Amino acid sequence: MSNTKNKMKNFFLILFLSLFLNSCVGSSTSGVFGTGVSVALDPRTLGTQIDDSIMQKNLTARLALTEKKYLVQLSVKVLDGRIFLNGKVEEPEEKLRITKMAWETKGARSVKNNIVIKQKFSIKGTAIDVLITSQLRTALILNKNVKAANFNIDTINKKTYIFGIAHSEEEKKEIIQEAKQIVDLKELVTSILMVSDLSRQKE
């Protein structure tokens, strides 16, 4: 009996050491929070790490099935249900499609999209799109019934896309109402999930 206990102790000791060494070597978050940021010990629980790993693999697989080139063009990182996207794409519609897929990933709490679009735009058209996005973002920040940080806003050719997670139908309606008041906005496309639909509840 004591032999079995000793074996179990040794097993858990080896498991702990291998997990510790793996977390110390090469566990850099460079490219997500910037270069040179290294995490020696992962502060996430084992369950959270597993959830994040599953989310990351699922999203990467979906992206690869959509376009094989995304495997080399894009980088996906998931930390505590928060998705970070990096890389380059040819068209703005690709970035929007990828953002939507990320938000639809089961367990996603937020999406930070740093994907760069290679296509060039006219200065005038880009300025108007930036203005529309800025006006809407400001309106959402000032609206006490909306948690603006939970939403991504992108505008392309006066067509605005909103992705995010709403806490209630009322919040969703407030967002749409604010968008309709932006003068230059021609079309609104929303992909807003409800907190109740998520497998991992937001804090």
Tell me the C-alpha to C-alpha distance, in Å, between residue 59 and each of 22, 105, 161, 167: 24, 7, 20, 24
Same domain, 106 and 127: no
- Alpha helix locations (H) across the chain? 2-24, 46-66, 70-73, 92-103, 123-142, 169-180
Same domain, 129 and 193: yes
% residues pLDDT > 90 (the chain): 26
Averaged pLDDT for residues 34-52: 59
Give the pLDDT of residue 5.
56
Start-to-end Cα distance in the chain: 45
Domain encompassing residue 161 = 123-197
Q: What's CA 163's distance to the chain center, in Å?
A: 10
CATH no. for residue 151?
3.30.1340
Same domain, 140 and 179: yes
Residue 17 falls inside a structural domain:
no
Same domain, 128 and 103: no
Q: Looking at 117, 151, 178, which one is the last position of a domain?
A: 117
Residue 20 falls inside a structural domain:
no
**pLDDT exceeds cutoff 50 at 201:** no
Same domain, 113 and 129: no
pLDDT in tens, 67-108: 999 988 999 999 888 899 988 898 888 888 898 899 888 888
CATH no. for residue 100?
3.30.1340.30
Same domain, 95 and 80: yes
Same domain, 107 and 134: no
Q: Looking at 71, 88, 117, which one is the last position of a domain?
A: 117
Query: What is the count of structural domains for the chain?
Result: 2
Q: Which of 173, 99, 185 is nearest to 135 (CA)?
A: 185
Q: Looking at 57, 88, 117, which one is the last position of a domain?
A: 117
The confidence band for 144, taking pLDDT boundaries of 50, 70 and 90, is very high
Same domain, 113 and 127: no
Same domain, 73 and 106: yes
Same domain, 100 and 69: yes
Residue 28 falls inside a structural domain:
no
What 3-state DSSP class applies to 115? coil
Same domain, 176 and 134: yes
Averaged pLDDT for residues 13-34: 41
Neighbouring CB atoms inside 10 A of 170's CB total 11
Residue 113 falls inside a structural domain:
yes
Can you tell me the distance from the alpha carbon of 82 to that of 48, in angstroms, rounded to the nearest whole number?
A: 11
